[in-house]
Structure 1
Amino acid sequence: MSRASGVPVPTIKFYLREGLLPAGELTSPNQAHYGEAHLRRLHLIRALTDIGGLPLASVGKVVEAVEDHERPVHQLLGAAARTVDLALPDPVDSDGAVRVQARAMADELIARRGWEVKPGHPAVEALTAAMASVLSVGHGDYLDYLDEFAAAGERIAAADLAFVARRQRPEDLVERVVVATVLGDAVLAALRRLAQVDASARRYPPQAPESSSDSSSG
């Protein structure tokens, strides 16, 4: 498994001790067999830590969700998403009134879009903190485009759930939620940057340098 994954043996043993990897099938008192499921779990752990930047404690919660087969699907997917939810951004200094204004905007957006989201959801808190920071630095008109951002989020969420629904086993569903949430964020951030570069070039096209014949006098 170490050769197949590129993960050092001591690291794999650590994951086994921490319960992040399930035990292999014993073939002798000091040997065990590890199959494709173990290798896939190992790749998931490395992707969450290396690309997603999750601490091992959060990865452990992901594993718990993956292995919990008793919950209804919506609760199961919600539990998986909560383990890798958005971290609250470091807020720009703002007074309580700004925070209240941002929370009201978040609540109004959720109601306007008809989203079925509980008020205490971590994503609501993350959105509130982010918008409070935007307001505090004097660029509140950025939030004029909030519904456009929300509409894009709805399309992305629909694509995420279509990806998740391609598998039916609970452990596959949970694993795919984690992939779409953690690694999907990395993909989306890169795509947004690329789209910004393209949009900037179209809105503010670079001027071609003047040729020597055009700039010469006479």
Structure 2
Amino acid sequence: MRIAELSRSTGVPVPTIKYYVREGLLPPGELSSPNQAQYSESHARRLRLIRALLDVGGLKVAAIAEVLRAVDDADRPLHKVLGEAASRLAAQHAEHDDKEEAEAKAAVADLLARRGWRTNESNPAAQDLARALASMDRLGHGGFREVLDEYADAAERVAHADLDYVGRKAAVEDLVESVVIGTVLGEAVFNAMRRLAHVDASARVFGAGGNDAAQ
């Protein structure tokens, strides 16, 4: 298909497609003449993945480029692809050199050791967790650490569900794409479902009676 057809089938404007090609996110089309290129369904599929990572996953273009490089590296183990995708979800925050930050980091290191998770406190997600706990502590909610293991139980179940989905894919292309989808877009799915569950739990615990589910 020509670039105009690719644009129509994916809903991505032609200038945006050309930008993605320049930035290395999308492979160039196969030249059929000096000024005409042909694109395949694989280009459409990659465009849909890029848009999902951008619009739903919230990743920046530079981060998407790094994730896609990992996806396209046939020699990179799937575990490393997943790690690359997960690391791009890490929030960018300033470090606080204070008591709360130090205690939060120690709490995260203890959690990882207690759970036997095969990672360490230098992982970007662990750093995000420590920053969140430190912020809670500064706001007078240090007791939140008491429910960390319950959160960890839920996180383990979700992680296994993600990887179970990934494991159903046979083709390598499907497999690595599923790793990215399960990591990045799965995060958006889980956060949305958690918010919905909060509304339900709040209505059940604090509702004044009747149908409070319209929030």
Bigger shift: 50-59 or 161-170?
161-170
**Superposed displacement of residue 166, structure 1:** 1.8
* Aligned partner letter, 1:74: H
Q: TM-score, normalised by structure 2?
A: 0.88
* Closer/same/farther in 2, CA of residues 95 and 24 from structure 1, 3 Å limit: closer
SS of alignment partner, residue 120 of structure 1: coil
Q: Which has the higher contact order (CA 8 A, sep 6+)?
A: 1
SS of alignment partner, residue 178 of structure 1: helix
**Superposed displacement of residue 187, structure 1:** 1.3
Matching residue within 14, 28, 53 for 1:9 = 14
* Closer/same/farther in 2, CA of residues 88 and 126 from structure 1, 3 Å limit: farther
The aligned counterpart of 2:91 is 87
User: How does 1:171-186 map onto structure 2 within 5 Å?
Assistant: 171-186=173-188
User: How does 1:49-198 map onto structure 2 within 5 Å?
Assistant: 49-82=54-87, 84-88=88-92, 96-198=98-200
Q: Deviations over 1:99-132 (max 9, x none)?
A: 1110111011111111000331111111111110
**Superposed displacement of residue 95, structure 1:** 5.9
SS of alignment partner, residue 84 of structure 2: helix
* Aligned partner letter, 1:52: G
- Residues matched between the structures, number: 205
User: Could you tell me whether the CA contact under 8 Å between 1:2 and 1:8 is conserved in 2?
Assistant: yes
Work out the CA distance in 1 between the residues paired with 2:173 and 2:134.
37
**Superposed displacement of residue 193, structure 1:** 1.2
**Superposed displacement of residue 141, structure 1:** 1.5
Bigger shift: 40-49 or 147-156?
40-49
SS of alignment partner, residue 27 of structure 1: strand
**Superposed displacement of residue 206, structure 1:** 1.7
The aligned counterpart of 2:213 is none
**Superposed displacement of residue 10, structure 1:** 0.9
* Aligned partner letter, 2:47: L
* Aligned partner letter, 1:66: V
* Aligned partner letter, 2:36: Q
Work out the CA distance in 2 between the residues paired with 1:31 and 1:187.
39
Q: Deviations over 1:144-177 (max 9, x none)?
A: 1100000000000001111111224444333222
User: Could you tell me whether the CA contact under 8 Å between 2:100 and 2:134 is conserved in 1?
Assistant: yes
Identity value in percent: 53
Unaligned runs of 5+ in 1: 209-218
Work out the CA distance in 2 between the residues paired with 1:122 and 1:101.
17
Report the RMSD for the aligned CA atoms in angstroms.
Answer: 1.8
Q: Deviations over 1:28-71 (max 9, x none)?
A: 22222211110010011111112222111111101111110112
**Superposed displacement of residue 88, structure 1:** 4.1
* Aligned partner letter, 2:202: S
User: Could you tell me whether the CA contact under 8 Å between 2:67 and 2:81 is conserved in 1?
Assistant: no
**Superposed displacement of residue 185, structure 1:** 1.7
